[in-house]
Structure 1
Amino acid sequence: MPVSTDAKGAKVWQLRNRNQTISRWAAYLAAVAIFMWCWQRISEATTWFFVWDAPRIAADIGGRAMPPRWSYMDKLWGPLWDTLNMATLGTMLALVMAVPVAFLAARNTTPSALFIRPVALFIIVATRSINSLIWALLLVAVIGPGVFAGLMAIAFRSIGFCAKLLYEAIEEIDEKQVEAITATGASRWQVMAYGIVPQVMPAFAGISVFRWDINIRESTVLGLVGAGGIGLQLQSSLNTLAWPQVTLILLVILGAVVIGEWISAKVRGAII
């Protein structure tokens, strides 16, 4: 803490000295200037008439969207099942691909920290940096619309997430157990099977359930870009301005997410 003296020679304790205070205020002013510049840019690109009129439009749509069209539920069971299949099978496929990537990315299990580990880390970053909707757009263009494109989009998006958390869990294992098994003369694969895998299995199970829970949410909207599932029904209802159907679909999506969250919490609780 800086100390200065006043005119009488008494010591004055200060939280910051003069230069630190000036630097702090300069940073505040720069932040305010950047915020105002960004706000000005946003304001210039915004049609404020529609913003002020939004409450009236929302009330009008809300009035037309109620009550939900319950008779439309018969057409949602199939798309809802497709959505759950996308989330489940996509998660399983992602785990199959993420496990070897995680072991190649972890410092204590990679065969080559100079060549193989950077490639594994690149795969993790590349798959995590692209959103599921973008993956779905690309895959719909490549393999055509349908549930399979959505499944693969979920899988590709999940590889980086699962592999990153798993390789971090691998790097945090207790090395004493590995050293004990190595001292018995076990091979590299035996050390991995009996010294590393048992330690990371709880983390692997938790990551799997957590990602499945996330994928249920993401798979509900992939139909908006032609990847099948209940999102396709939502897109069709929005295009035809069938607001009571939209309300029902949103309620179904909410119910699916809540049930998935409940199952995920129960499974994680049992694991932990």
Structure 2
Amino acid sequence: MTTTTWHKRTSSANLAVFTGWALALAFVSWAFQVMTQDTIWAFVSDAPAQFADIGSRMLPPAWGFINELWLPLWETLNIATLGTLIGTAIAIPVAFLAARNTTPSVRFVRPVALLAIVASRSINSLIWALLLVAILGPGVLAGIIAIALRSVGFIGKLIYEAIEEIDPAQTEALASTGASPAQVMAWGVVPQIAPTLAGVSVFRWDINIRESTVLGLVGAGGIGVKLEAALGTLAWPKVTLLLLVILATVIVSEWVTAQVRRKLI
């Protein structure tokens, strides 16, 4: 059994600790001043009253508005599902090109594939949607492509890491029997990463459900269009209903994801 022996700090150690805390507090103070330099504190002090006022206007929800939400909700589910499918279809070959043990060229092809993955992960879905709405016009198509482009980086990164972590003994055994590279890939690599691919794809679909609910705020279709319209007209009872519908959709997607992952993994 080991015992911890207490030792008194030296003067230089105490000075270093004090200096570290002083610098940390100074940095936090400076950061707070930068973040709040444009803050109007009269609005902040009035925020509880404004919150209570808007909260009172949001109740009860406009239940009669529910029939106008089924089609936008269906569009949202399509955006998330089709975007995930397209993103997965693109991410799989990109992942194989990015993995060290399957890429045809570590020096040339792998950096390009990694750049594609990083670029996809660096740009938020809303930014993709803004760009695509400007190019394609408003609508569901822009939302689907935005979700797909965002999904490529997420799925591609996790899949190429899974490819690099496979057991090489299986692929070597297949190669020693005279199997072609395509056969080694199909029977030695794919079965090892299949559970990861299934789990990651379902998990990304769950994330995309959340992200697709707000793409309509920039004109990319889905239930977000209704939310933006309700906020723009200060129709607070409709906003409440929309938030409840979005919450219910996310809860259902969580349940579906959990059930699918339990079956697949």
Shorter-chain TM-score bucket reads over 0.9
Query: For residues 15 and 204 of structure 1, what CA distance do their matches in structure 2 show?
Result: 54
Work out whether 1:199 is the aligned partner of 2:225: no
The letter for the 1-side match of 2:258 is A
- Tell me which residue corresponds to 1:86: 79
- Tell me which residue corresponds to 1:6: none
Equivalent in 46, 54, 63 of residue 70 of structure 1: 63
The letter for the 1-side match of 2:197 is F
Equivalent in 169, 184, 189 of residue 182 of structure 2: 189
Work out whether 1:112 is the aligned partner of 2:105: yes
Query: For residues 212 and 188 of structure 1, what CA distance do their matches in structure 2 show?
Result: 31
The letter for the 2-side match of 1:214 is I
- Tell me which residue corresponds to 2:169: 176
C-alpha deviation, 1:32, in angstroms = 1.3
- Tell me which residue corresponds to 1:227: 220
Query: For residues 132 and 103 of structure 1, what CA distance do their matches in structure 2 show?
Result: 24
Work out whether 1:48 is the aligned partner of 2:41: yes
The letter for the 1-side match of 2:74 is W
Q: Per-residue CA shift, 1:51-78, capped at 9, x if unaligned?
A: 1111111111111110011110111000
Equivalent in 95, 101, 106 of residue 102 of structure 1: 95
- Tell me which residue corresponds to 2:115: 122
Q: Per-residue CA shift, 1:26-56, capped at 9, x if unaligned?
A: 3322221111001112222111111111111
- Tell me which residue corresponds to 1:8: none
Aligned CA RMSD, in angstroms, stands at 1.4
Q: Number of paired residues? A: 261
TM-score by length of 1: 0.93
> In 2 relative to 1, CA 257–15 (structure 1 residues): closer, same or farther, beyond 3 Å?
farther
Query: For residues 100 and 196 of structure 2, what CA distance do their matches in structure 1 show?
Result: 17
The letter for the 2-side match of 1:66 is L
Work out whether 1:26 is the aligned partner of 2:25: no
The letter for the 2-side match of 1:156 is L
- Tell me which residue corresponds to 2:139: 146
Q: Per-residue CA shift, 1:172-195, capped at 9, x if unaligned?
A: 111111110011011111110000
Higher Cα radius of gyration: 1
Query: For residues 13 and 59 of structure 1, what CA distance do their matches in structure 2 show?
Result: 54
Query: For residues 180 and 151 of structure 1, what CA distance do their matches in structure 2 show?
Result: 42
Query: For residues 250 and 81 of structure 2, what CA distance do their matches in structure 1 show?
Result: 13
Q: Tell me which moved more, 21-30 or 48-57.
A: 21-30
- Tell me which residue corresponds to 1:9: none
What are the ranges of 5 or more consecutive residues in structure 2 without an aligned counterpart?
Answer: none
Q: Secondary structure at the match of 1:67?
A: coil
